[in-house]
């Protein structure tokens, strides 16, 4: 009998024993069957893909203007290092402080004619871009188009003969636990292959408005950015983009943009040189449990419309402020992030069916989508007081109220309701709080510390526009509606709150 004291040795013996059993066919398992249930060798798959993965080398000229040169070392006369330092500093002076900064990343060929996909951050601000292939050959690359929102870019090279290319797969078919393989250029080591599984899906790492990352434990390091994440059929199901690492190296938490998002962006960049995303023309916010109860939903789902963009596709209907979007173009909307993604992925000009909840009843409306980029350009040229931002999902936060005693003289507080002192929204209060002329309702002149309103982030200087979808013009209107809600046994009041610029958000304030 052999006694194994070291637990790692015991683990190794178990692994070796398992391998022997698999190899000998013991227990009714053939060698071929044993390979089928494990990761097996991926050499055949990798061999077919390596030539389609490239290293992206970029250079950027930076003008140092002599800055950062620091003091020149004092080298003893006659020292063997004297000539070396003299040549070094002479070259720097002749260069006028202009230097080349190089960086490395990865990419992959999706068309034999020379179309390459990579990350935007790999080639951003580069003066020169080169694609280095597996055989060592190098081709100059030009930028076709880039999308900062998804961190994707498309390049073009002019090859002397057709290139080896790979195709996109459907990332939606991938499941947690599926094997995946990454090929790239980590730390400049081109042609590196790593293997792992999908650890999670739908990750939001706050990298952009369309976060929906695949998380993998396949080793991804600096230099892998822009490289492909393959399924075991050799199809690209993700573009490696980011890692979480305290040390800068792989700790088994890497993220890839899924092809369900990337493929459409890449195709648009190839066709138009830019993205053309669908636009609904609304501003939305998350549906919390409290908001769900107040609008008649059995659970928190969908996205609540907190604003309608001037000049947008639904400016004059059929979607209104306070509607909850629960389905878009036949797809159930889980939350506001999902709505942002599905709208952006939809073609411009397409007529879609949108299912909404209004006044406790579901109904279906039809909307013809606009183009998000057009809305963004319009918003950029329009003052904030006149138009809200164009991007679905952007929620205006409450502006910080001026401290009491500063600025204009403190006006007397009006009726106090739900911990809020309310007063008519007249010219004096507009001037005092800087409230836009387009905002209507009842101004909040103070919020009691520790009150339900304070806990919900409601601030002095904001305006109550509606209570439970009823427009209010006075403190009496607010009080009457709140009283009616209590009489009906409602547990919270659904308030539409506007900040000074008119940005809206919905808040459910407990009535108890």
Please tell me whether residue 101 adopts helix, strand or coil conformation. Answer: strand
Backbone dihedral angles phi then psi of residue 421, each to the nearest 5 degrees: -85, 125
| 108 within 8 A of 44, measured Cβ to Cβ | no
Q: Which of 40-54 are b and which e, b meaning 16 or more Cβ less than 10 Å from the residue's Cβ? A: eebeebbeebbbbbb
Tell me which of 103, 106, 151, 337 is the catalytic residue. 151
Beta-bridged to residue 115, according to DSSP, are: 111, 156
Cα 145 off chain centre by: 19
Tell me which of 153, 199, 225, 468 is the catalytic residue. 225
Please tell me whether residue 440 adopts helix, strand or coil conformation. Answer: coil
| 411 within 8 A of 384, measured Cβ to Cβ | no
Does residue 369 have a cis peptide bond before it, meaning omega lies within 30 degrees of 0?
A: no
Sign of CA dihedral 489, 475, 500, 307: positive
Length of the chain: 512
127 is catalytic: no
Nearest in space to 305 (alpha carbons), one of 384, 392, 378:
392
| 184 within 8 A of 220, measured Cβ to Cβ | yes
503 is catalytic: no
Question: Would you state the structure tokens that stand for residue 283, as one six-digit string?
Answer: 């501003």
Tell me which of 103, 121, 217, 294 is the catalytic residue. 121
Number of alpha carbons in the 13 Å side-chain half-sphere of residue 88: 8
Please tell me whether residue 257 adopts helix, strand or coil conformation. Answer: strand
| 236 within 8 A of 213, measured Cβ to Cβ | no
| 492 within 8 A of 511, measured Cβ to Cβ | yes
225 is catalytic: yes
Angle CA 5–8–11, to nearest 5:
100
The catalytic residues are: 121, 151, 225
């Amino acid at each position: 009998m052999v006694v194994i004291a070291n637990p790692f040795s015991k683990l190794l013996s178990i692994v070796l024993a398992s391998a022997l059993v698999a190899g000998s066919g013991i227990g009714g398992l053939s060698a071929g069957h044993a390979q089928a249930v494990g990761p097996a060798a991926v050499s055949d798959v990798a061999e077919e893909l390596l030539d389609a993965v490239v290293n992206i080398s970029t250079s950027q000229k930076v003008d140092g203007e002599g800055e950062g040169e620091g003091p020149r070392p004092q080298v003893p006369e006659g020292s063997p290092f004297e000539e070396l330092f003299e040549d070094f500093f002479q070259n720097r002076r002749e260069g006028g402080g202009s230097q080349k900064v190089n960086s490395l990343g990865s990419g992959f060929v999706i068309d034999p004619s020379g179309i390459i996909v990579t990350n935007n951050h790999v080639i951003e601000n580069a003066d020169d871009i080169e694609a280095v292939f597996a055989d060592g050959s190098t081709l100059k690359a030009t930028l076709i188009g880039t999308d900062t929102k998804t961190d994707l870019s498309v390049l073009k090279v002019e090859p002397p003969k057709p290139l080896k290319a790979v195709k996109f797969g459907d990332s939606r078919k991938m499941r947690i636990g599926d094997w995946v393989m990454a090929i790239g250029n980590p730390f400049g080591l081109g042609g590196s292959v790593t293997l792992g599984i999908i650890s999670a899906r739908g990750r939001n790492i706050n990298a952009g408005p369309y976060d929906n990352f695949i998380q993998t434990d396949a080793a991804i390091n600096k230099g892998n950015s822009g490289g492909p994440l393959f399924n075991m059929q050799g199809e690209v199901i993700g573009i490696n983009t980011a890692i979480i690492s305290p040390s800068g190296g792989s700790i088994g938490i890497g993220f890839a943009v899924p092809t369900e998002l990337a493929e459409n962006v890449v195709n648009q960049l190839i066709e138009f040189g830019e993205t053309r995303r669908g636009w609904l023309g609304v501003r939305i916010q998350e549906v919390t449990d409290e908001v769900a109860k107040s609008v008649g939903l059995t659970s928190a789902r969908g996205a609540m419309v907190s604003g309608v963009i001037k000049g947008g596709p639904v400016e004059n209907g059929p979607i209104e402020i306070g509607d909850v979007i629960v389905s878009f173009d036949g797809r159930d909307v889980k939350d506001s992030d999902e709505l942002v993604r599905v709208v952006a992925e939809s073609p411009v000009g397409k007529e879609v069916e949108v299912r909404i909840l209004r006044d406790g009843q579901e109904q279906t409306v039809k909307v013809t989508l606009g183009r998000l980029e057009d809305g963004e350009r319009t918003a950029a040229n329009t003052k904030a007081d006149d138009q809200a931002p164009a991007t679905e999902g952007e929620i205006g936060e409450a502006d910080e109220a001026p401290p009491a005693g500063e600025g204009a003289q403190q006006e007397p507080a009006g009726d106090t309701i739900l911990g809020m002192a309310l007063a008519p929204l007249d010219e004096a209060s507009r001037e005092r709080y800087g409230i836009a002329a387009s905002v209507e309702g009842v101004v909040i002149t103070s919020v009691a510390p520790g009150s339900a309103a304070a806990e919900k982030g409601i601030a002095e200087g904001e305006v109550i526009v509606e209570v439970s979808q009823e427009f209010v013009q006075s403190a009496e209107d607010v009080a009457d509606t709140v009283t009616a809600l209590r009489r009906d046994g409602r547990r919270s009041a659904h308030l539409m709150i506007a900040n000074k610029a008119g940005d809206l958000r919905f808040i459910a304030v407990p009535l108890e």
